[in-house]
Amino acid sequence: MAAERTFVLLKPDAVQRALTGEIVGRFERRGLKVVAMKMLRVTRSLGETYYAEHKGKPFFEPLMSYITSGPVVAMVLEGDGAVASVRRMMGKTNSAEAEPGTIRGDLALTIGRNVIHGSDSAESAKREISLFFKADEIQAYARIDEAWLRE
Q: Which amino acid would we find at residue 111?
A: I
pLDDT at position 150 over 80: no
pLDDT at position 111 over 60: yes
Instruction: Catalogue the active-site residues.
Output: 117
Per residue in 20-78, pLDDT (tens digit) is 999 999 999 999 999 999 999 999 999 999 999 999 999 999 999 999 999 999 999 99
SS3 of residue 75 by DSSP: strand
Going by their DSSP bridges, the two strands 3-10 and 116-118 should be labelled as antiparallel
Evaluate if pTM is beyond 0.75: yes
Domains of the chain: 3-42+72-141 (3.30.70.141)
pLDDT at position 9 over 60: yes
Put residue 81 in one of left, alpha, beta given phi > 0 → left and psi -120 to 50 → alpha.
left
**What mean pLDDT is predicted for residues 79-84?**
96
What does the buried/exposed string (b/e) look like for 83-98 if buried means 16 or more CB atoms within 10 Å of the residue's CB?
A: bbbbbebbbbeebeeb
Cα separation, 61 vs 103, whole angstroms: 26
